[in-house]
Amino acid sequence: MEPPPPNLHRQKQRRVPERERKRVVRACDGCRRQKERCDGGVPCRRCVRLRRQCGFLSPPMRQPNPSPGPSASSARAPSRDSEELTKRVGYMERLLRHYIGDINLDLDNLHRLSEAVNDKDRLTARGEEPGSGESDFTGVEKESFTVQPLENNTTHYSGEFSHWNFSMRIKQWIEECVPEQGRNDAPGVTNFLNFKEYYRAEELQSSEAFTALASLPPRHIANFLVQVFFKHARTNYVYVEKAWLLDKIDVAYENAASLSRRDVGTVCIIFIVLAIGTQYAYLERLAESGPGDNPAQDAAGPFSEDSIGIMFYQQACRLVPDVITSASLESAQACLLIGIYTLPLDASGLSYIYLNLAVKLGIQNGMHRRYTGEGFDPALRETRNRVWWAAYTMERRVGIFHGRPVSIPSADVDAEMPVQRPDDPPAHVAAMLATLQLHDILGKISREISGLRTQTKQGAIDTLGRLVDLKNAVHGWWHSLPHDAFCKDPAPHSCVDRAGMHLKLEFCLVRMFTGRPFISPQAHPRNSSSSSSSSGSSSSLADRAADSRSILVSDCVAAALAVIDACKVLRGSVGLARASYTEFSACRAAVLVIVTQCLQERTEALRQSLRDGVAMIKIMSAGGESARSEASLIEVFERAILRLYAAAGVGSSAESDYARFKQWEMLWKISGSPGPGANAGTGAGAGVAGARRRTQQRLQGFPTRA
């Protein structure tokens, strides 16, 4: 058999065109050892297919001629530099493939990509955008949202990349394409792009919505309830402007015929403000009688004025369908106020729904976006911003504290912050801004705590560290508040401002929310065998986690005790407000934290704080059945703790110490004096001597307290 011609193997190889030939910068170690083709990736495709380790550890085959040097160390230096450079190139190629996909990383392709980036940078520097025909990048044109002011404080909002924005883009495109002189050629057409605009389903509104105006109280009663609302219920949020509301009340009483169905939001606001006023009206009796007589302390059941408030609330609720249909600024305010009224009645249910509805109506009017146009006057723009931040903050706060999901991400909100007006009360806007800053930190804390459910052990420890940092940020926020504008540490029985005290209670609420997830029964001490078997690294991680948990729990307990002190100051000055969600929820959360500590430590300070907290909870539980239910649960906890103390033979610390002292005093008197009948006979003397011996034994064995 004749041997095959020497060029037969060469003829069987596929001919690769010159333009498709690519040379890899450097082959990996595995491909070099096997004399195989390598694509230069990290890892390369051949190593991935063969499931072998791909690396660039060995020096390259071709080494440049070393420059003559006096020592061998200087000759090895370039080799080390080349090895480090090779590793860096490999790592960067891996990052490139991860972020931009599996592309060819040969020298020609990298050069082409680099030139494309340079061309794009030059166009950007000249203020030009690369067109779709000049670049391989298939992007989208820059698009902004639409805020179109309509009549009666109604706004049409359309977000980026919406159906409406796409329609308006086509309309603008047609206007640019059609010549100016050919636009009105059709007979009877003045503007060929005119269309029927439709923004609200006003045909669905009721024509008999304003029969509720007949249920308004006498004018002097309405004035009283409005004053009570702005004095006690507004605190650090702005729900409605006082001057605007008084003007609308004048119209409702003096010229009701001028109101149309588009004013349904205004009428709803009037009724719900009157309803909220009835919740706080009893505090005026406290102001008239003085701080020594607290009318809330003898309130064991519903207040007589609650029935009037329910009537106003029901009148407002009858207008809610039309309020939602009109979807104006006043609609958002009305739903926000209904949510405020129902906070003490059903915070996690009915109130949360109305607050969420207020946020959705605000979004429909574009109140969550920063508006830079000229369609709003400055006063209206400021009112929109204030109402939005009040609704957004209250809805997010209630949702976080009651385990509800976020309705709108904070990244989608860029509305302007409120600013000071000449007619604003002193420090009112400052308190509002401080509240917004605090709840922004609360949102970050909530996200960190929610992430603990799905994290690894190391990730959970890192999250605990970030929570400690956020706890420190909360304290830094509090210390940054000016002392002249905010009363941070009021003295007992001093005249305080309810808004300032609410800011402190919210500060303590955030601290308790941060630490209470980590409150648990005390863990049993680890035995020596288990601790010795654990590795040093895991022990270090456990110590870090324990330290972070201890810091958060200690701050939580301190905040709970501070809430009890703050509520006692309120009770002794302006009075506890039974309808205040801030006061009741802060006191309730504080009492629950103190209950957990009473199960672990039996100190008189905790027992006294628990008694004070339960007493104040009973005062504020007159606000509704929901509050009374929560108060009854706390009373059950208190009775259970008392039973535990009694079973352990431990009463109140002060009573126990005094009882021990009196018992010791009695025994000392018996042992120190012979008493009557000491010399009355041998039997009597023996009895006294026996009593003395028994007394001495009891004294020696008397338990002491450290």
Task: Tell me the torsion sign for CA atoms 622, 626, 629, 635.
Answer: negative
Q: Does the pLDDT value for residue 434 go beyond 50?
A: yes
Q: Please tell me whether residues 661 and 560 are part of one structural domain.
A: no
Q: What is the DSSP letter of 37?
A: -
d(CA 398, CA 402): 6
pLDDT value at residue 527: 44
pLDDT of residue 31: 83
d(CA 559, CA 593): 9
Radius of gyration of the chain from its Cα atoms, rounded to whole angstroms: 38
Answer whether residue 534 is part of any domain: no
The 3-state DSSP composition of the chain as helix, strand, coil percent (nearest 5) reads 65, 0, 35
Q: Once rounded to an integer, what is the mean pLDDT over residues 191-214?
A: 66
- Asked whether residue 490 carries a pLDDT value surpassing 50, the answer given is yes
261-265, 301-305, 560-564, 679-683: which has the minimum mean pLDDT? 679-683
Q: Residue 705: what pLDDT?
A: 40
pLDDT at 424: 80
CB contact burial 558-590 (16+ within 10 A = b; e otherwise): ebbbbbbbbbbbbbbbbbbbbbbbbbbbbbbbb
Q: How many CA atoms lie within 13 A of 697 on its CB side?
A: 6
Q: Which percentage of the chain shows pLDDT scores above 70? A: 65
The phi and psi torsions of 37 (rounded to 5 degrees) equal -75, 135
Q: Which residues contact 696 (CB under 8 A, 6 or more apart)?
A: 671
Cα-Cα-Cα-Cα torsion 98, 99, 104, 106, nearest 10 degrees, comes to: -100
> Residue 682 belongs to what domain range?
657-700
Same domain, 663 and 695: yes
CA-closest candidate to residue 283, choices 245, 222, 242, 230: 230
Give the tens place of pLDDT for each residue, 151-196: 667 676 666 666 666 767 777 777 667 666 555 555 554 566 666 6
373 and 483 co-located in one domain = no
Total domains, the chain: 4
* pLDDT of 63 strictly over 90: no
C-alpha angle 271-275-277 in degrees, rounded to nearest 5: 115
Band of the pLDDT at 287, cuts 50, 70, 90? low
Asked if residue 137 belongs to a domain, the reply is no
449 versus 690: which is more confidently predicted?
A: 449
pLDDT greater at residue 535 or residue 340: 340
Q: Is residue 67 part of a domain?
A: no
- pLDDT above 70: residue 677: no
Report whether 38 contacts 28 (CB < 8 A).
yes
Dmax of the chain from CA atoms?
146
DSSP class of 481: S
Residue 8 has a pLDDT of 47
The C-alpha atoms of residue 187 and residue 493 are separated, in whole angstroms, by 82
User: What percentage of the chain carries pLDDT values higher than 90?
Assistant: 30
Q: Do 106 and 25 form a contact (C-beta atoms < 8 A)?
A: yes
Instruction: Give residue for tokens 């802060």.
Output: 586
> Is the per-residue pLDDT at 556 higher than 80?
yes
Model-level pTM?
0.68
Sign of the CA dihedral 206, 207, 208, 211?
positive
Q: Single out the residue of 317, 220, 215, 234 nearest to residue 272, CA to CA.
A: 317
> From CA 341, how far away is CA 644, in angstroms rounded?
39
Contact 266, 256 (CB under 8 A): no
What digits encode the pLDDT tens for the residues 497-533? 888 899 999 999 999 999 999 988 754 434 444 444 4
Q: Do residue 333 and residue 295 come from a single domain?
A: yes
User: How confident is the model at residue 2, as a pLDDT?
Assistant: 52
Q: Under 8 Å CB-to-CB from 24, ≥6 apart: which residues? A: 38, 39, 40, 106
Stronger pLDDT, 36 or 536, i.e. the higher one: 36
- The verdict on residue 464 lying in a domain is yes
Condensed to tens digits (0 to 9), the pLDDT of residues 619-676 reads 888 767 777 888 888 888 888 777 776 666 555 444 456 656 666 666 666 655 444 4
What's the average model confidence in pLDDT over 672-686? Answer: 44
Is residue 593 within 8 Å of residue 617, measured between CB atoms?
no
- Considering only 42-46, 53-57, 390-394, 396-400, which range has the smallest mean pLDDT? 53-57
Say if residue 33 is in the same domain as residue 154.
no
Same domain, 610 and 693: no
661 and 647 share a domain?
A: no
- Supply the pLDDT for residue 676: 43
DSSP bridge pairs for 156:
148
Q: What is the mean pLDDT of residues 298-325?
A: 82
Residue 526 falls inside a structural domain: no
Looking at residue 557, its pLDDT comes to 95
Do residues 631 and 583 share a domain?
Answer: yes
Look at residue 53 in the predicted model and tell me its pLDDT: 77
Domain boundary among 651, 666, 683: 651
Residue of higher predicted confidence among 535 and 238: 238
Report if residue 362 sits inside a domain: yes
> Which range has highest mean pLDDT (57-61, 109-113, 689-693)?
109-113
Instruction: Look at residue 435 in the predicted model and tell me its pLDDT.
Output: 94
Crossing angle for the helix pair 378-401 and 428-451, nearest 10 degrees?
A: 40
Considering the chain, what is the average pLDDT of its residues? 76
Looking at residue 553, what is its pLDDT?
94
Ranking 6-10, 11-15, 638-642 by mean pLDDT, the lowest is 6-10
On whether both 175 and 305 belong to a single domain, the answer is yes
Instruction: Give 694 or 105, the one with higher predicted confidence.
Output: 105
Give 665's Cβ-side CA count (13 Å radius): 6
Domain termination site, one of 344, 368, 402:
402
DSSP codes, 164-207:
HHHHHHHHHHHHHHS-GGGTT-STT-S-TT------S-GGGS-T
**Is 8 part of any domain?**
no
Residues 322 and 209 sit within 8 Å (Cβ to Cβ): yes
User: What number of CA atoms fall less than 13 Å from residue 492's CA on the CB side?
Assistant: 5
Q: What is the pLDDT of residues 385-429, one digit of tens each?
A: 999 999 999 999 999 999 888 889 888 898 999 988 888 877 788
**Residue 48's pLDDT is what?**
77
Q: Are 252 and 213 in contact (CB under 8 A)?
A: yes
- Please give the Cα distance from 691 to 683 (Å, whole number): 12
Looking at the domain assignment, is residue 164 inside a domain?
yes
Question: Does residue 607 sit in the same domain as residue 696?
Answer: no
**Cis status, amide bond into 217, omega within 30 of 0:** no
Last residue of a domain, one of 402, 417, 444: 402
Rounded-to-integer distance, Cα 651 and Cα 339, Å: 44
Residues 370 and 480 in one domain: no
Quote the CA–CA distance of 206 and 200 in Å, as a whole number.
Answer: 14
Please give the average per-residue pLDDT across 376-384, as a whole number.
89
Q: How confident is the model at residue 685 (pLDDT cuts 50, 70, 90)?
A: very low
Question: Are 381 and 487 part of one and the same domain?
Answer: no
Q: Which residue has the tokens 């459910």?
A: 453
Cα dihedral sign, 630-633-637-643: positive
DSSP conformational letter for 59: P
